[in-house]
Chain A
Amino acid sequence: MQNALSWLLGGRKPAASHILLAPAALWLLFFLVIPALGLVTLSFATNGPYGTIVWTLGLHNYRRAFDPKYLPVLIRTLAFAGSTAALCLLLGYPLAYFLTFRAGRWRNALLVALMLPFWSSCLVAFYSWMIVLGKEGLINTTLLRLGFLNSPVGFLYTPFAILLGLVYFYLPFTVLPLYASLEKIPRSIIEAAYDLGADRWTAFFKVTLPLSLPGVVAGCLLTFIPCLGDFLTAELLGGPRYYLLGNLISNQFMMAQDWPFGAALTSILLSGLIAGLWLYQRWEEQA
């Protein structure tokens, strides 16, 4: 028995390595690979009566995803993901810059503080935003009392609320890669720019910004991709009028019982993700 375990742990034969990795591999197989392949297969099937699945194969589910009824959802999802990534970049870059060059001994504490809201459940944070933004919420009540408003404004269940929720939740995803790449820039290069007569802004635009480009791309991608599949933000802050791809998928499985169509939408989401990662890898190889 002990000899067998020693053989496993010693790992001089590839078989031993594969056996130790087998449990994790089985988990990935049963809860990731097979479900994903199953969804792709299902996306070519046909929805029968009462949510049954008829194996008449075809591309009709994909055609349906791009018809005028559902196309706006896809476009809206891309638009929200894109604007969230852009906003997070604009808002987050100065913060990442501050953390790298100005924060001094506060740096680690601030990095932890940046991640904390992300670790607390986003359900809870969105609930709080509902209190802030609602018709009887904090902003409306305050503005009414101060006399800036005559009647409450519906901030909640608008595209603005969705964008706010997305930016709130994904900001750390943008800032951390930005920080990581700014941190890697040798200070001597920036000082050299000053020595050669560049002012602050020239040094920033000609040296710091170009050198932080890997972080910019990684940060945007790490925000854009999860946004494509986001589900809770539009569910809680947006409401049915502004449903995104994630909500549409969820509806097909939980309410409409049209699994093949839902599977096709999920496959579209996954191909978007794979395309994004592929482009990123190609960009990285070139750089």
Chain B
Amino acid sequence: MKRGRFLASYCAALFAFLYLPLAVMFVFSFNDARRNVVWRGFTFKWYKALVQDVELMRAMWTSLELAAAAAAIAAFLGMLASYAMVRHQPFGGRSAYSALLNVPLMMPEVALGVGILSFLIRAGYELDFAALACAHALICLPYTVAAIRARLISLQESSLEEAAMDLGATEFQAFMKVTLPLAMPAIISGALLSFTVSFEDFVISFFIAGIGIVTMPIKIYSMMKFGVTPEINALSVCLVAATLLLLALNAALSLRLEDGGRR
């Protein structure tokens, strides 16, 4: 099995390539040297500097609020749209909606950014937080639709909503008491993915954040332009840890979904 081992070590090398940047920033975020990539001793001071950086903390709050707003909008729009596409009788234009809802995924972010920028400015709209949140909601929408739609399709097969209506519930009651609670894990999972997408988005924010709005990625970008400092390493480690946490939550939710389907 010499050949099999060769392939396995090749894949290990490829994974090493993918994880090298993450490992480097993790190690050097604890290095006690400002400009050097030589190990000079262990320190927490870059993490301390992060917490004390007022502008950075403000940027983090902006990003958290932005991601929460975008995720909430995307989850709401995604729920309504998925429900109509899955539960309603087939109607004219359904496949067109379905195709169009995936376009934000394929659209280059630069094109979306400059398109929305020029549209808003020429319509005389002052660039503000709401505009940015709405634009972020657009790029999150495909994720919430995908998550909620898959869940509604699997619920369709169990026909619990029909059972509720056979027992005398109105469509509204069946929706509130049966479909919505059962779809909730998928709604939350879609919202969590959206939160991650929005929190990490740089390109859209770069183009349409007004002058006063500094999100976390924009702040990191401007710090990077000043040059390499270990604080960015510490910040990156925090961000990657936060992303991992969100994805783990999301995975836990989908595991629960699978259990729910079996019950």
Interface residues in chain A, defined as those with a beta carbon under 8 Å from any beta carbon in chain B: 2-3, 5-7, 9-12, 14, 16-18, 20-21, 23-25, 27-28, 30-32, 34-36, 38-39, 42, 91, 94-95, 97-99, 102, 110, 112-114, 116-117, 119-132, 134, 136-138, 141, 168, 171, 200, 225-226, 228-232, 236, 246, 249-250, 253-254, 259, 262-263, 266, 269-270, 273, 277
Partner of A127, one of B87, B101, B141, B224: B224
Decide: B36 and A9 in contact? CB cutoff 8 A. Answer: no
Set of chain B residues within 8 Å of A113, measured between Cβ atoms: 15
B197 to chain A, nearest CB (A): 9
**Known pairs A9-B87, A137-B37 / 8 extra A-B pairs, C-beta < 8 Å:** A14-B91, A32-B138, A95-B11, A102-B4, A127-B228, A128-B21, A131-B233, A253-B118
Set of chain A residues within 8 Å of B35, measured between Cβ atoms: 136
Q: Which residue of B lies closest to A96 (CB)?
A: B11
Partner of B221, one of A95, A123, A269, A273: A123
Q: Does B62 contact A (CB under 8 A)?
A: no
Partner of B17, one of A24, A168, A266: A168
Complex: how many Å from CA A126 to CA B25?
A: 11
Set of chain B residues within 8 Å of A27, measured between Cβ atoms: 77, 134, 137-138, 141
B80 to chain A, nearest CB (A): 5
Q: Which residue of B lies closest to A113 (CB)?
A: B15
Partner of B232, one of A119, A127, A129, A171: A127
Set of chain A residues within 8 Å of B114, measured between Cβ atoms: 39, 249-250, 253, 262-263, 266
Complex: how many Å from CA A270 to CA B251?
A: 35
Interface of chain B, helix or strand or loop or mixed?
A: helix
A195 to chain B, nearest CB (A): 20
Question: Could you tell me how many residues of chain B have their Cβ less than 8 Å away from some Cβ of chain A?
Answer: 85
Set of chain B residues within 8 Å of A112, measured between Cβ atoms: 251
A94 to chain B, nearest CB (A): 6
Decide: A5 and B172 in contact? CB cutoff 8 A. Answer: yes
Q: Which residue of A lies closest to B21 (CB)?
A: A128
Decide: B119 and A94 in contact? CB cutoff 8 A. Answer: no
Decide: B110 and A120 in contact? CB cutoff 8 A. Answer: no
Partner of A98, one of B11, B94, B108: B11
Set of chain B residues within 8 Å of A137, measured between Cβ atoms: 37
Complex: how many Å from CA A269 to CA B184?
A: 39
Q: Does B249 contact A (CB under 8 A)?
A: no
Specify which of B20, B81, B110 lies most central, judged by the most chain A CB atoms within 10 Å of its CB: B110
Partner of A21, one of B11, B97, B112: B97
Knowing A5-B172, A31-B138 touch, does A20 contact B80 (C-beta < 8 A)?
A: yes
* Interface hit among B43-51, B152-160, B237-245: B237-245
Set of chain A residues within 8 Å of B233, measured between Cβ atoms: 127-128, 131
Set of chain B residues within 8 Å of A120, measured between Cβ atoms: 22, 200, 239-240, 243-244
Partner of A31, one of B134, B203, B240: B134
Partner of A273, one of B76, B88, B108, B134: B108
Set of chain B residues within 8 Å of A136, measured between Cβ atoms: 35-37
B132 to chain A, nearest CB (A): 11
Decide: B28 and A231 in contact? CB cutoff 8 A. Answer: no
Set of chain A residues within 8 Å of B115, measured between Cβ atoms: 32, 35-36, 38-39, 266
- The number of inter-chain residue pairs (CB within 8 angstroms) is 249
Decide: A132 and B20 in contact? CB cutoff 8 A. Answer: yes
Complex: how many Å from CA A158 to CA B89?
A: 56
B261 to chain A, nearest CB (A): 18
Complex: how many Å from CA A127 to CA B239?
A: 13
Which 9 pairs between the two chains have the least Cβ-Cβ distance?
A229-B108, A11-B88, A35-B115, A128-B21, A20-B84, A14-B91, A6-B171, A24-B81, A121-B200
Q: Does B24 contact A (CB under 8 A)?
A: yes
A283 to chain B, nearest CB (A): 17
Set of chain A residues within 8 Å of B134, measured between Cβ atoms: 27, 30-31
Q: Does B175 contact A (CB under 8 A)?
A: yes
Decide: A28 and B100 in contact? CB cutoff 8 A. Answer: yes
Set of chain A residues within 8 Å of B24, measured between Cβ atoms: 128, 131-132, 138
Complex: how many Å from CA A25 to CA B96?
A: 11
Docked complex: B192-216 residues within 8 A CB-CB of A: 196, 200, 202-203, 206-207
Decide: A121 and B228 in contact? CB cutoff 8 A. Answer: no
Set of chain A residues within 8 Å of B236, measured between Cβ atoms: 121, 124, 127-128
Decide: A21 and B84 in contact? CB cutoff 8 A. Answer: yes
